[in-house]
Amino acid sequence: MFISEAFAQTAPAAAGGAESSLMSLLPLVLMFVVLYFIMIRPQMKRQKEHKAMIDALAKGDEIITSGGMIGRVAKLGETYMQVEISSGVEIQVQRSAVVQVLPKGTFATGK
């Protein structure tokens, strides 16, 4: 009695199966587009700006490293550079560790 009623209530087959599958993918595509514009694109822009700053470093620039050290660029190499953190005291750091280039005259070595 109940089984025959259950079969009678089944919905007819959906027409336009390709259109419904495209509509089911639409939220996924929209989420990827939003993710790209909110997270991926700004990160790529920051990386590009950081690389340009690193490439533009010159001897005498005053910098801040990722470790918080403030100093003046003494010597430049391909991947490493010498940074004067006090008069007569130089340390070697990676060029990629530079976070910010300070305006001239900000860092005084105590000479």
**Strand, helix or coil at 26?**
helix
Q: What is the mean pLDDT of residues 11-22?
A: 65
Over range 63-85, report the average pLDDT: 95
Q: Which residue's structure tokens are 């790209």? A: 36
- pTM equals 0.68
C-alpha to C-alpha distance for 61 and 102, rounded to whole angstroms: 7
Q: Name the band, by pLDDT with cuts 50, 70 and 90, for residue 72.
A: very high
